[in-house]
Chain A
Amino acid sequence: MTENAYKPGSYPDLPPPPGTVGVYGWIKNNLFSSISNTLLTIISAILLYYLIDGIIGWFLFDAVYDAESKIECRKIDSGACWAVITKRVGQFVYGFYPEAERWRIDISFLTMFIAFAPLLYPDIPKRKWLLWFSLVYPFLAYILIMGGYFGLQKIEYSLFGGFMLTVILGVSGIVCSLPIGILLALGRQSNLTVVRTISICFIEFMRGVPLITLLFVASSMLNYFMPPGTNFSILVRVIIMFTFFSAAYIAEVIRGGIQAIPKGQYEAADALGMSYWQKTRFITLPQALKISIPGIMNTFIGLYKDTTLVVVIGLLDPLGIGRAALADTKWNGLSTETYLFVALFFFVSCFAMSRYSLWLENKLNTDQK
């Protein structure tokens, strides 16, 4: 075949060399490209086989979902004994909240998504109206959950527990810590020596001690710092500590964002004659917050996970409920099942949060690529 057989520009595309495309090519390139790579594939495959074979069987196929005790479970099948969970699902979700009033929790939980939607998705239709709802929501939720108004039965804090408690602690901590964190970050970058020193002391102290010591302070010492006779509930004290703790971390993340803004931005703002607050509102924060979204979300996820620590000071979050279940002689020794169930709940919610953060990051990314 000579080159002249084709007119210029009409030379047909040749098929790619064999073994570089398609399923075969993909497998060859990604799994067996070299000896070490092949070895890695084989090891991973063996690992995967054992995982699926051992864990899935134990988890699902050999598992027992309904029984009266651990001994009964073991008689039925050899796998996991999920009966310890199914017998107490209500407690795991609502704690000791009275059964007749649980609809109040359901409603506040479902409306929470409506309240958060306009904050989380800027493109949502009718956003303005929904934002009003978001503003009212905290009061609505408080009235619904606590009761005591409009003929709703008043519920004691001590009955709160389970996943409901996790969500209450997590969400209120997250919502309160962001504004405080922003203020602390601005304080730390401030020109005013006094403000800067105070912010640094606060941030470094909160970041330097383990959260658990702060919770001990909340549970046993915070009342000493209040006027004699004041007594506010442990739940509020714990939320205050969570808020301060994660505000300090958020402040550091946002400070990183502020420092990453090019100097020219400030100089331009100064040249335009903007005041400090104008500069902060229109120049610094929009850019700094955008850069720090991944870090802020990580802090939120951390706070949400850290709510489990309240079990140490005796609140009945899902771990507390689980431990109470395990203390029952009927279910003694089923710790793996109980903790894995709670772990699954945290995995699902935290994974969802991190996916949202990725989505937001991509959406706000204005870099030219």
Chain B
Amino acid sequence: MTFLSNIWRNEKSREIIIQIFVLFCIGWLLSWLVMNVNANFKALGKDISFEFLFIPAGYDINQYLIDYNNRDSHLRAGIVGLLNTGLVAIFGIILATVMGVALGIIRLSKNWLASKLAYWYVEFTRNVPILLHILLWHGIIINTFPQTRQAINFGDLTFLSNRGFYLPKPITESGIEFVYLCFVISLIFSVLFTKYAKKKQDLTGIQYPVFWINTAVIIILPSLAFLLSGLPISFEIPVLKGFNFRGGLHMSPELAALTFALGIYTAAFIAEIVRAGILAIDKGQKEAAESIGLKPSKVMNLVILPQARRVIIPPLTSQYLNLTKNSSLAIAIGYMDLVATLGGISLNQTGREMETMVIVMLIYLSVSLSISAFMNWYNSKVKLVGR
């Protein structure tokens, strides 16, 4: 008896006993689940196989970034869906970032009216479920925008209608390579110049207006090349033919609604993150920077922002991740993203719930895990070194 109680009192051996017990429980649970799945599958005459990925999908997808028709395989349909997820995520992230940063700064401004407006925007937006935002925007575009014949017209170039938005489509012609080349050259120049200016400042204290010079070079050099090579970009303008528009870039109502909803919803969260990040910087930092005579822009760029960035970027990334995961709600309005293609129609047609859901989940999981691995690396890099 004393031997047993000694084992239990010893920290090392107790830890081992507990862990073995937990392992045993988990093992039992998992094998129980697997056994159940086996029994159920046998009863239903099902098996697990991924061959269905290579048979023709047989359904149409109204929006695709790579060629697709209904004779292509389920695998290709899934890839088309994945690309659509990526497309709406990128649009949404751009919109959310621009709006969110602007709103966050406005909320901190001294202007009472503007800051209150931004505050109520944030409160209204983030307290309403994202699915409602999506359905609301979709409903607004479908039900209240005019039909194609009466489409809202911006100078005969861009049209907004209940069938979606039609924008001019840029078409590149020969000679564009020269413009790209100049753009790359100007980028390389700006990197080298920044390094040179920093070195010069370290050695002599002389400062160059680096930002303005770089901006000027990056804008002027490609523009000159653009003019010299004879304007190698033309625009294909959408034209109303019969009941619909032809040509141009078409943004379907689903894509537009999803972009607006995700962007507007996430912007509210980003605004709060930006605001909290700037507020987190101790007031003394700003005062100290001002008292040694830095200009307001330098105070912002050299003192406040580098510190705020450390606070802002981790939650910002997780918002981007949330936006990407929320884009899976596209299924509610019929936008064909990954969940709607592979996890929706393919699942229903082949009846392989297990396989399709495993693939869909693994894809989302690998995206999230790789981004959080990157964030951990970033956090450890920028972390303040304590004692």
Interface residues of A (CB under 8 A from B): 29-31, 33, 37, 40-41, 43-45, 47-48, 191-195, 198, 204-205, 207-213, 216-217, 220-221, 223-228, 301, 305-306, 308-309, 311-312, 319, 323, 333-336, 339-340, 342-343, 346-347, 350-351, 354
Contacts and interface: CB of A to CB of B under 8 A. Distances in A.
Nearest to A198: B26
B364 interface: yes
A308 B114 contact: no
Contacts of B15: 191-192
Interface string B312-340: 00000000000001101101100000010
A48 B22 CA distance: 60
B139 A216 contact: no
Given A210-B326, A346-B132, A225 B37 contact: yes
Interface of B: 15, 18-19, 22-23, 26, 33, 36-37, 39-41, 43, 106, 109-114, 117, 123-124, 127-132, 135-136, 138-140, 142-144, 325-326, 328-329, 331-332, 339, 343, 347, 353-354, 357, 360-361, 364-365, 368-369, 372
- Residue picked from B109, B129, B353, most chain A C-beta under 10 Å: B129
A343 B137 CA distance: 12
B136 A335 contact: yes
B113 A212 contact: no
B131 A319 contact: yes
A213 B357 contact: yes
B256 to A, nearest CB: 15
A351 B285 CA distance: 34
A42 to B, nearest CB: 9
Nearest to B136: A339
B113 A45 contact: yes
A305 B130 contact: yes
Contacts of B37: 224-225
B110 A336 contact: no
Contacts of B39: 227-228
Contacts of B129: 305-306, 308, 346
Nearest to B127: A350
B139 A343 contact: no
State the 3 A-B residue pairs at the shortest beta-carbon distance, nearest first.
Answer: A335-B139, A208-B368, A350-B127
A212 B329 contact: yes
A217 B357 contact: yes
- Residue picked from A226, A334, A354, most chain B C-beta under 10 Å: A226
A193 B19 contact: yes
Contacts of B369: 204, 208
A354 B127 CA distance: 9
Contacts of A347: 124, 127-128
B22 A213 contact: no
Contacts of A31: 111-113
9 contacts: A44-B111, A44-B117, A210-B326, A228-B40, A308-B131, A308-B132, A333-B143, A336-B139, A339-B136
Contacts of A30: 110-112
Contacts of B26: 198
A43 B372 CA distance: 40
Contacts of A208: 364-365, 368-369
B357 A194 contact: no
B354 A221 contact: yes
A48 to B, nearest CB: 7
Contacts of A220: 347, 353
A209 B111 CA distance: 41
A345 to B, nearest CB: 9
A205 B140 CA distance: 36
B337 to A, nearest CB: 10
Nearest to A352: B127
Contacts of A343: 128, 132, 136
B353 A221 contact: yes
Given A194-B22, A216-B357, A336-B140, A346 B113 contact: no
Nearest to A323: B135
Contact of A319 (B111, B132, B140, B339): B132
A92 B325 CA distance: 28
Given A47-B117, A225-B36, A228-B36, A340 B136 contact: yes
Contacts of B353: 216, 220-221, 224
A210 B363 CA distance: 11
Contact of A209 (B136, B326, B329, B361): B361
A246 B325 CA distance: 15
Contact of B339 (A44, A212, A350): A212
Nearest to B22: A194
A151 to B, nearest CB: 38
Contacts of A45: 113
A207 B369 CA distance: 9
Contacts of A47: 117
Contacts of A44: 111, 113-114, 117
B179 to A, nearest CB: 36
Contact of A205 (B112, B130, B365): B365
Contacts of A209: 325, 361, 364-365, 368
Contact of B131 (A204, A309, A336): A309
Contacts of B135: 319, 323, 335, 339
Contacts of B40: 223-224, 228
Contacts of B331: 212, 312
A335 B114 CA distance: 30
A117 to B, nearest CB: 23
A151 B111 CA distance: 63
A185 B110 CA distance: 40
Contacts of B113: 31, 40-41, 44-45, 48
Contacts of A217: 357
Contacts of A212: 328-329, 331, 339
